[in-house]
Homo-oligomer: A and B are copies of this chain.
Amino acid sequence: MTALGIGLIGTGFMGKTHALAFRSVRAVMGDVPEVRLECLCDTPADKAARFAAQFGFVRATADWREIVADPAIDIVSITTPNNLHAEMAIAALQAGKHVWCEKPMALTLADAERMEAAARAAGRITLVGYNYLHNPAILHAKRLVGAGRIGRVVHVRGWVDEDYQADPDLPWTWRARLADAGLGALGDLGCHLVSLVLALAGPIESLIADTQIVHADRPLADGSGRAAVENEDTATAILRFANGAQGSISASRSAWGRKNRLDVEVHGTKGMIAFAQERMNELQLYVNEGPKAEQGFRTILTGPEHAPYGRFVPAPGHQLGFLDLKTIEAAELLRAIAGGRVAHPGFAHALGIERVIHAIAQSGAEGGRRVTLG
């Protein structure tokens, strides 16, 4: 296979992570296709050019449609603001590109559905940036659950919190407007938590929920007054899973002190697994076995026993970081392309995540009415 050409749209935080992942993935993994950093897109053009030089792309453009049209490009990475995802992804798919799109898929469920339909129609590989799913600790948790190590899953809990909207004096931004940002904490954070919960406990059947705007309005940056916050600062749901388990999840973007909290705990009939992203190289495991006097939660430090950790570092306890998760994600994409298989989580799976967060928003809007998922 000749090297796969990469077109990357966006040079912000996520754009950088995609660029770095593509730069590292083959050196780390060995057994993935080669890539060629073909074209980087941002506006204005000089910004695109500057970042192309920094990231090591061959070319730069200010017009994303050039990337979509470019025959030298096989994969389009979309890391733009969420309201642009749908148009770009659909165009790329229709042009026959594979698409790696950041989460959430879109502002509205309808857009996400259109994206999924386009992926199905195009038969191309898609991947949505739920990077935490690729953490070796989470992959190991999935294996443990799958192997019945904690018995039947009966209950799940999770929290995802940051504090970037905790300060009441923070100026109003587009993030607070429904039309621009769509969902609030659910779209930014909640969807990550849902991705973990689905991975560890399977599909959700129904839920009840509540949402909350913590700061009703915020000062305008220009001092001209205040503007309303239109989307949720927190969201909480109580879940019923298809397998009979129950659980609850909660998201907040106004939780002081939490920087990237993403905690999940899985209660089984034989044991418990707990994970906290702020200590992403640790997995907590309790199993009801051996002498009672020696039972306790084990802090498992990830290492070569937890694939693909060993591709990065052959010694346990040395720690992977956030960027390494994106490298694993890129490998998933490249291997799926090379192997002609579905990448996980692709648009079809990610649409399921979108359905959950929109169901939470809907239940919240309707006072906690039970919402059933397809």
Whether A214 pairs with B157 at a CB distance below 8 angstroms is: no
Interface residues of A in 239-265 (CB under 8 A from B): 240, 246-248, 250, 252, 254-261
Q: Which residues of B contact A214 (CB under 8 A)?
A: 154-155, 269
Q: A102-122 toward B: CB 8 Å interface, digit per residue (1/0)? A: 000000000000000000000
Q: A143-180 toward B: CB 8 Å interface, digit per residue (1/0)? A: 01000011100110101001010111000000000000
A168 to B288, CA, bound (A): 11
A58 to B297, CA, bound (A): 45
Interface size class of A (residues with CB under 8 A): 35 or more
Whether A248 pairs with B246 at a CB distance below 8 angstroms is: no
Interface residues of A in 344-374 (CB under 8 A from B): 367-368, 370
Please tell me if A279 contacts chain B, counting CB pairs below 8 Å. Answer: yes
A212 to B241, CA, bound (A): 12
A87 to B131, CA, bound (A): 44
Whether A298 pairs with B300 at a CB distance below 8 angstroms is: no
Please tell me if A38 contacts chain B, counting CB pairs below 8 Å. Answer: no
Whether B254 pairs with A154 at a CB distance below 8 angstroms is: yes
Q: Which residues of B contact A319 (CB under 8 A)?
A: 260, 277-278, 280-281, 319-322
A100 to chain B, nearest CB (A): 17
